[in-house]
Amino acid sequence: MKIKTLPTLRDKKRYLAFEVTSEQTINRQQLFSEILDSAASLFGDKGTSEINPKLMDYDGRFGIIRCAREKTQETRASLACISNIRRIRVSFLVLGISGTIKGATEKFIQQTLIKELEPEKKE
């Protein structure tokens, strides 16, 4: 029998929606490895385990990373410190922070795509 943790005792999580701009496409494994390395170099092994980062979704341009609720600023710092992945220059733009994956996708990633598709209004 599997014992479930009560919802009030579970760790609270936040989801960061981000956009990767790079010269070439970066695969998921390379990206997550670089995120972990960046967090470890900034905060050490203990800090990285407290952040508890996990790459939930990544499609080559947009992604969602999960972290501990109290560690969103540290996660943003880890992303900001990444400038290249395997000699490919990259930059990260955090689109927003949400409490659910669905919220991060709908509020930030889909809205960014809609804004790109809309023609500019002339005044």
Q: What is the pTM of this model?
A: 0.85
Task: List pLDDT tens digits, range 36-75.
Answer: 999 999 999 999 999 999 999 999 899 999 999 999 999 9
* Residue 107 pLDDT level (bands cut at 50, 70, 90): very high
Residues paired with 55 in a beta bridge:
65
Q: What is the pLDDT of residue 84?
A: 92
Question: Can you give the pLDDT at residue 122?
Answer: 56
How distant, in Å, are the alpha carbons of 12, 24, 122 from that of 113? 28, 20, 20
Domains, the chain, ordered by start: 12-105 (3.30.70.3250)
pLDDT at 105: 92
Query: DSSP code of 103?
Result: H
Tell me what pLDDT residue 97 has: 96
Average pLDDT over residues 11-40: 93
